[in-house]
């Protein structure tokens, strides 16, 4: 059961990462009216993908006992 909860926690982190990236892109495009180059968008997608990959590797390390895993905001008791 704890693996399922930690996996859902991982999905929550990935959703937060993608949401923050989307909000930043939305603010830059709509509020400031800046048109981003396609290379900049591709580079941004690579960075977001790498951050998500780091979160997945940290989760796997925590599940397999090789590290602390993802940080969590509440204590499981």
Task: Name the percent of the chain lying above pLDDT 70.
Answer: 86
What residue spans define the domains of the chain?
2-63
The 3-state secondary structure of 7-47, one letter per residue? HHHHHHHHHHHHHHHHHHHHHHHHHCCCCCCHHHHHHHHHH
Task: Report the distance separating Cα 29 and Cα 32, nearest Å.
Answer: 6
Residues in the chain: 77
The verdict on pTM exceeding 0.85 is no
pLDDT per position as a tens digit, 24-39 = 999 998 888 888 889 9
Position 49 scores a pLDDT of 96
**At 2, which helix (H) or strand (E)?**
helix 2-26
Q: Given a cut of 80, is residue 75 above it in pLDDT?
A: no
**76: Cβ–Cβ under 8 A, 6 or more apart, which residues?**
2, 5
Q: Given a cut of 90, is residue 66 above it in pLDDT?
A: no
């Amino acid at each position: 059961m704890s693996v399922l909860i930690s996996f859902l926690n991982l999905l929550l982190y990935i959703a937060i990462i993608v949401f923050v990236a989307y909000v930043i892109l939305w603010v830059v495009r709509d509020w400031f009216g800046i048109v981003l180059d396609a290379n900049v968008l591709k580079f941004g997608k690579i960075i977001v993908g790498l951050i998500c990959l780091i979160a997945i590797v940290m989760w796997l390390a925590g599940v397999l006992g090789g590290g602390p895993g993802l940080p969590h905001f509440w204590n499981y008791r």
